[in-house]
Amino acid sequence: MNNPERTSSRRGEIVAEATDIWKSYDGGRVEVLRGASVRVREGELVALWGASGSGKSTLLHLLGGLDTPDRGTLRVCGLDPRGERERLTLRRHLLGYVFQLHNLVPDLTVEENIRLPALALGASAKAMAARVRELAERVGLGHRLAHRVQDLSGGERQRAAICRALMNSPRVILADEPTGSLDEQTGETVFALLRELARSQKAAVVLCTHERRYAEACDQLLRMRAGRVEETR
């Protein structure tokens, strides 16, 4: 998958950094990360590329505060995601998370799913509605806002999940295999959307993928193997 628009954003501010991260499970018997390090700058699309079990999703979870490392240093937007207060601030204001299987709430409409992150901020109903409409129109879901999740295609569900992740205008978007459950054409649409968001919003996007074509279309390609990070480009 070619990306003729790839540009370097390495001079931008560092917004996410993991240094010498180690992580194991089952009382230390299963080592997943072994001194992994990564540095991400604003406006940059970074791929964590590797086979299943290489540690890429675990590293993403640690950056997002979904888990804690055994040792090493984490900084996201100047905060340590291991702290409870810092983690809350990151989730409410600075981080957006896109899961492989979208994790939308099936009993809610598309509009209700997208505005969920803003509820904790106490935003006005008018402001939330305007933001939801803006995001939905941008990804071609403006006509679907009143529909429930079961009425959407796989690609539409993932686009709704991306809108939800963007609701509070995060500085960092963490995407865990967002194209993994989609067909090729829909997957390329979702990837193109994430790439465009990194460019237009100057958001840092960290993408976990096992598909080389997506990894090679990113600004920075980091290959993960046996719990370590190798900078391929």
Residues with pLDDT less than 70, the chain? 1-11, 232-233
Tokens standing for residue 45: 């699309």
Q: Model confidence over 146-200: pLDDT tens digits?
A: 999 999 998 899 889 989 998 998 999 999 988 887 888 888 888 888 888 788 8
Measuring CA to CA, which residue among 79, 71, 77 is closest to residue 20?
71
Q: pLDDT at position 11, please?
A: 57
Q: What is the pLDDT of residue 182?
A: 80
Cα angle: 102, vertex 106, 110; to 5 degrees: 75
Q: Which domains does the chain have, with CATH numbers?
A: 14-106+171-231 (3.40.50.300)
What pLDDT shows up at residue 5?
Answer: 44
Q: What is the rounded CA–CA span in Å between residue 27 and residue 177?
A: 27
What per-residue confidence (pLDDT) applies to 6?
46
Please report the pLDDT score of residue 190 as a whole number.
Answer: 84
